[in-house]
Structure 1
């Protein structure tokens, strides 16, 4: 897309988007809010540039494009590449952004602590940040450079909280990297993380680990294969599940999950 999308155009984009995403998760050591150096016009502080805050190098793809989106009254430019599932915005992500935008007050996103699983090029995390949330965006190591680049490009000096980027490999070292005693999120977000891959059980275990009493999981997905519905059945066994929204033209559904406690 070469122009910012209006609300009416989003549905068309959801239909036209390709249909197989990347979904695992991101790195430690990303810049934090206090590293931004404060507002311009201060004493002798030198304002940091995007380059100075960049800690992960984007993969050297040949086919990067700049795609434009419009959410929460803000123009967002995402660097994408069709060379990687994790460098493309998928239909579930666009649908979830629209849902967050339309229900931001109801969800009370201002200062909410949010973790996104499988953030990819970062559109959902950017929109959540623009809406006032404190966001941790996660994905696999090879995705992190492009993810952080997009987050900084679109949130630096534009949001109350600078998003954090962390590595998260589904099902691996969860308690070591995200100990339940230290990490609590108001929301866990996931979009198009379910498709035809071999890590669905690890994904479900990761979702469950990251949710505690009070955590709301919002999962948006384009339903493509029978395995997607099989995952949904397992998801319902672990989470009290509510269908929040549907986008029939794009086969996207958004679910709310609350972890079941014995």
Structure 2
């Protein structure tokens, strides 16, 4: 089985909060510096690619307990740090289905070097798989989720993917033009999984999806349909996007759709 990190490098089960992720991150940072010829932690940090700097900005939330869950996608063992104390720290069925779809359609989707943004990345499984498949990934979520997200991305992609994924804050419907100006940010794919459920921000979610999709951008949305509101969102989604039904996973009631924004 192909793995990015050796058993010595992979963090152990975390119960003590954010100190262990920080310690692991510092160790990996020092290894990267030494590999690049720097003298150690006080060396030239400009030798590390810029996206690593952004990944270091966040600290995992200090939940009472974390669990370590193992997944196998794209020929890699992926270890996710999860916590049932937060919706954003758990891998949901839609993420599993979308990972399966990505690995089975890698060449068709042309993911190598593709620019991808994931909305509501949670613990980061989908972004990790997309990175392993060769994409340039930006993983986004709410501020309290970003620490655990960056930790999972680093532990599974550092030094073993073509592009190190970036983590950015994205609050649906807020600061879109300021934080993601269209003149600077263009994405080949927008990914979203299980972002539609019983909450009060569906209109802001649709606004965010619409904003991020420029001409040529493809949105892949996987969702476990649970409530009538999910189907109502789908109807609104179809008003904004030319929508294609791609796949269904009956065992988990997850459906995957492709959307391309309608232009007048």
TM (norm. structure 2) is 0.82
Q: Which residue of 2 aligns with 1:165?
A: 167
Gaps of 5+ in 1: 1-30
Query: Out of 118, 121, 143, which is 1:119 matched to?
Result: 121
Q: How does 1:77-96 map to 2 (within 5 A)?
A: 77-96=79-98
Residues paired across the two proteins, number: 229
1:141 is aligned to: 143
- SS of alignment partner, residue 241 of structure 1: strand
Instruction: State the match for 1:15 in structure 2.
Output: none
Does the 8 A contact of 2:54 with 2:167 survive in 1? no
Between the two structures, name the one with larger relative contact order (CA 8 Å, sep ≥ 6). 1
Displacement of 1:223 after TM fit?
0.1
Q: 1:213 to 1:146 in 2, by over 3 A?
A: same
1:171-192 Cα distance to aligned partner (Å, 9 max, x none): 0011111111111000000000
C-alpha distance 163-198 of structure 1, shift in aligned 2 (>3 A) = same
**In 1, Cα distance between equivalents of 2:158 and 2:30:** 8
Change over 3 Å in CA distance of 1:63–1:181 after alignment to 2: same
Q: Is the 8 A contact 1:39 1:157 kept in 2?
A: no
Q: Which has the larger radius of gyration?
A: 2
Aligned with residue 249 of structure 1, among 229, 248, 251 = 251
The Cα of 1:38 is off from its aligned counterpart by 6.6
Q: Give 1:230's aligned residue.
A: 232
Q: TM-score, normalised by structure 1?
A: 0.82
The answer to whether the 8 Å contact 2:118/2:139 transfers is: yes
Q: Deviations over 1:91-133 (max 9, x none)?
A: 0000000000000010000000000000000000000000000
CA 1:39/1:213 → structure 2, altered by over 3 Å: closer, same or farther? Answer: farther
**Over aligned residue pairs, what C-alpha RMSD do you find?**
2.4
Q: Distance in 2 between matches of 1:224 and 1:107?
A: 28
Q: CA deviation at 1:45?
A: 6.2
* 1:198 aligned to which of 197, 200, 215: 200
* TM-superposed deviation, 1:154: 0.5
Aligned to 1:152: 154
Q: Which runs of 5+ in 2 are unaligned?
A: 1-24
Q: 2:141·2:168 contact (CA, 8 Å) conserved in 1?
A: yes
